[in-house]
Structure 1
Amino acid sequence: MVIKKIFNNNAILAKDSEKNEIVVMGRGIGFKKNVGDKLDENLIEKTFILKQKDASEKFKLLLEDIPTEHVSLCYDIIEYAKNILGVELNDYIYVTLTDHISYTLKLFDEGLNRPNPLIWEIKKFYSKEFEIGLKALEFIESETEKKLPEDEACNIALHLINAQVNKKGNNVKDIAKQAKMIQDILNIVKYTYNIELDEKSLNYERFVTHLRFFFQRLNKEEKIENEDDFLLKQIKVKYKKAYECMLKIQTYLNKDLSDEEQLYLTIHIQRVTHR
């Protein structure tokens, strides 16, 4: 391999024998080297082969602005996630997650924290991705000695959810169908209460996000054990109109929902209709 560009002493852009561009990292791999020099492949520790051209270009720009140790750290997190999830991840994860974690560490140094309002949904419906997020926090603390809050595990989980490809329900046709169904459900809520929903509100964002995860889970035919029968009975009485609205949604879906699904939908309806 021949060096095409040197980002710093520990990261370079190389070209292999088939003229493919590859980002490689390793301690001192670019030290006292010049463009056109032959790469010492014994120094390679991490290799990035991004097949999507746009993702590759953005990743190269990222390397010019972000500390190499952050890039290396995110590489380890992504590789760990791939092994645990056993699915293909979109190349953009190397751009989006790396940029996110680097910026989060910068904010942490400034004493700033960004709470994630979706942590409830993520922990409940994407527990595997959330657990990976928690493990990522351990990686980050081990490398940087910075203990990030649990909300950050949720942020990392969201990046992993968005990056998963070749999963059932992740094609254009199904996404369009889900978007229509979400809109239909929002209309059921609006007409039941005869109100316009505040689309800029946090509760609206939570409700829509819950519905997206809800449909993805239905597509994967995942079932949740009924654990909250007692809570549902209380909610039926306390939020009677929201519960009745949920039943209309269940009829629209033509599907018997678990007690837990009914509970969460009812609570979201109550929140989104009460400002």
Structure 2
Amino acid sequence: MIIGKIFNNNAIIASDTGKSEFVVMGRGIAFKKKVGEPVDQSLVEKIFVLQQKEASEKFKLLLEDVPPEYISLCYDIIEYGKNMLDVPLSDYIYVTLTDHMNNALKLLDEGITTTNPLSWEIRRIYPKEFGIGRKALEFIGESLGKTLPEDEAANVAMHLINAQIDRPSRQTENISAQTGKISDILNIVKYTYGSAPDESSLSYERFITHLRFFFQRIGQPARGELEDDFLLKQVKSKYKRAYGCMLKVEKYLQIELPDEEKLYLTLHIHRVTREAVP
């Protein structure tokens, strides 16, 4: 690897024989080095290979202003998140999470703490991501000796949720709106049945997953109506309460759901509530 650009003693852009560029970090990796010199492989600690060009360029800009230890820490948090969630994440999370954490830590140093009004909902609806957020706060405490408020665990979770969608144009505010709607739908189910679904059940996890992808489908071309509405008629007849609850959800969303969505939403409502009702 050859040094292409030096940001500071601990961060550089390097290129390989195939002319591919990537960010390389390591303590003292650029100390007394010049552009064009080979990289000391023994000092390499982390390599950022960002496939999305726009994300890569924005990440390089962050290297100009963000302390290397923050960048390294966010890298560890993201890699931990990938392993725990076992899903691909958009390259943009290296930009968005690093930028957010840099700002959050700056505010903390100034004695300013912020809150996330959706912290409770995120903890309830996205427990895996929220758990990773909590672990991130532990990493920060151990590495930097700084204690961020627990609401920051929800903020980390939101970045992970957004990165799973893999649409950089979609902003965190959209995830906030989606989270609020999912919470409202869960409350509709709760008040229809008189008890809350078991949040530890597999049916609950599947229901949340269905709702997440349901909101991604809104605004996209319809997948088409059911070829035969026999199944929907059967479900409507067999699971009257769940079907009625689905209609309440449809009314709340103020959209007309395709028959296919009605079918699967009714089935998910039935499954998530069947252990909760007498």
Confirm or deny a common fold (TM above 0.5). Answer: yes
Identity %: 55
Quick one: which amino acid aligns to residue 180 of structure 2? Answer: H
Q: In structure 1, what is the equivalent of residue 210 of structure 2?
A: 218
Q: Which moved more, 1:2-11 or 1:246-255?
A: 246-255
Deviation at residue 252 of structure 1 after TM alignment = 5.9
For the residues of structure 2 that align with 1:114 and 1:160, how far apart are their CA atoms?
Answer: 19
CA contact (8 A) 1:14 1:22 kept: yes
Cα–Cα, structure 1 residues 26 and 65, in superposed 2: closer, same or farther, change >3 Å?
A: same
Match of 2:3 in 1: 3
Name the residue aligned to 2:179.
209
- Aligned AA (1:28): G
Supply the distance in 2 between the matched residues of 1:116 and 1:38 (Cα, whole angstroms): 45
Are 1:88 and 2:88 an aligned pair?
yes
State the TM-score, normalizing by the size of structure 1: 0.67
Alpha-carbon separation, structure 1, partners of 2:155 and 2:115: 9
Where in structure 1 are there 5+ consecutive unaligned residues?
176-201, 223-243, 263-275
Aligned residue number for residue 134 of structure 2: 134
| Structure 2 residues without counterparts, runs of 5 or longer | 186-206, 215-246, 274-278
Q: Which residue number in structure 1 is paired with residue 54 of structure 2?
A: 54
Instruction: Compute the displacement of 1:217 (Å).
Output: 2.7
For the residues of structure 2 that align with 1:252 and 1:65, how far apart are their CA atoms? 48
Q: Note closer, same or farther for the CA distance 1:221–1:208 as it changes in structure 2 (3 Å cut).
A: closer
Q: TM-score, normalization: structure 2?
A: 0.66
CA contact 2:182–2:211 (8 Å) conserved in 1 = no
Name the CA shift for 1:39/1:119 in 2 (closer, same or farther; >3 Å): same
3-state DSSP of counterpart to 1:164: helix
How far has the Cα of 1:164 moved from its partner?
1.0
Aligned residue for 2:29, secondary structure, equals coil
Residue in 2 that maps onto 1:68: 68
Cα distance per residue 1:171-219 (max 9 Å; x no partner)? x9xx9xxxxxxxxxxxxxxxxxxxxxxxxxx9xx966532268696325
Partner SS state of residue 22, structure 2 = strand
Aligned counterpart, 1:99 = 99
Q: Is the 8 A contact 1:117 1:206 kept in 2?
A: no
Confirm or deny: 8 A CA contact 1:116 1:155 kept in the other structure.
yes
* Contact in 2 for aligned 1:87/1:165 (Cα 8 Å): no
Q: Report if aligned partners of 1:88, 1:165 keep a CA contact under 8 Å in 2.
A: no
Quote the residue 1:29 is aligned against: 29
Following TM superposition, by how much is the alpha carbon of 1:35 offset from its aligned partner in structure 2, in angstroms? Answer: 0.5
Distance 2:249 2:12 in 1: 55
Per-residue deviation, 1:103: 0.7
How much has 1:248 moved relative to structure 2? 4.1
Closer, same or farther: CA 33–131 of 1 in aligned 2, 3 Å: same
Range moving further from structure 2, 157-166 or 115-124: 157-166
